[in-house]
Structure 1
């Protein structure tokens, strides 16, 4: 499909028609009445806004690799079940649960991959990213319910998680950075 059809040139600048349609829909919804005047006004406003204020081309640095995505999702499902059971155990168990804050250095420099890693860590029950140190690319991760000295085990788990995320969502450069 020719994408130029969806973004024709108007006085030398591209105007993305799907964005114009979305803006017209929002315009009409804000006026609260579906009328020809509101729709035409919304289309006109959409054309003017997208022509005067063009959006820059942005590459978020995310590529979905289906095999890596399946491996990540399987790990995430398993980890969610195991961690939930561990948290439930410590909720019903009398006494103070073991907690620890572990600093983990990330290997990737991709902001997208770092954010995905932080979200995955925080989404698993019993773990939380307490702080991110961007200059060192380190996370301070709070873990709950793991007895004993678990620093190296937590670091190894997060390093493996980072690798899974980069394999699932990273670019070729992101994957090469981890080698």
Structure 2
């Protein structure tokens, strides 16, 4: 393959396989710039303070990650919808606050030992970009953490805190799918938005 040539879809891609599209040199650079922006944003969120020092540190760390730990080609084939992006940002901020209050209440409750659980959540849109963004939003909310991502099957494995019964497990799965819906409606293509109406299938690998 000559340098700069597009990377074709992997064998077996299609309705039942991972959804990936061709990436050229220009698209690759654009995607790296987008990835760098997200890495810097996550760095600032982790520090909880927006300053020139944290911004510079995020840029240095982001460039180092992209250089020494190159990410698989992830291309943007959708379109930005400002209204849906605003909804995504507003609901994320609200959930960040409410989840922080819940986790703090659990932490200071005398003698209470919360039970955790690990759930598998198959996503409806199985692109790398959707997997990455949904996983990042879920992990940034206190009380939930992504433990593993099955990229081929499009399944997120999520640890949830303070599970008291089956209803909490179902509610946690619904929250993950709700985040996916907001992400896809904010940046997904028309075809990806239509996939949101398809019930998620259980694609976990059977031993």
TM-score (norm 1): 0.63
Structure 2 residues not aligned, in runs of 5+: 1-73, 198-207
Whole-angstrom distance in 1 between the partners of 2:175 and 2:165: 16
Deviation at residue 177 of structure 1 after TM alignment: 2.2
Structure 1 residues not aligned, in runs of 5+: 1-57
What corresponds to 1:122 in structure 2? 139
Deviation at residue 61 of structure 1 after TM alignment: 2.8
123-132 vs 137-146, which moves further: 137-146
Whole-angstrom distance in 1 between the partners of 2:133 and 2:77: 12
Whole-angstrom distance in 2 between the partners of 1:116 and 1:156: 17
Higher strand proportion (structure 1 or 2): 1
CA-based RMSD of the aligned residues comes to: 1.7
What corresponds to 1:37 in structure 2? none
Whole-angstrom distance in 2 between the partners of 1:62 and 1:99: 36
Deviation at residue 59 of structure 1 after TM alignment: 4.2
Partners of 2:88 and 2:182 within 8 A in 1: yes
Bigger CA radius of gyration = 1
Aligned to 2:164, the other structure's residue is in SS state coil
Whole-angstrom distance in 1 between the partners of 2:75 and 2:133: 16
What corresponds to 1:73 in structure 2? 89
TM-score (norm 2): 0.55
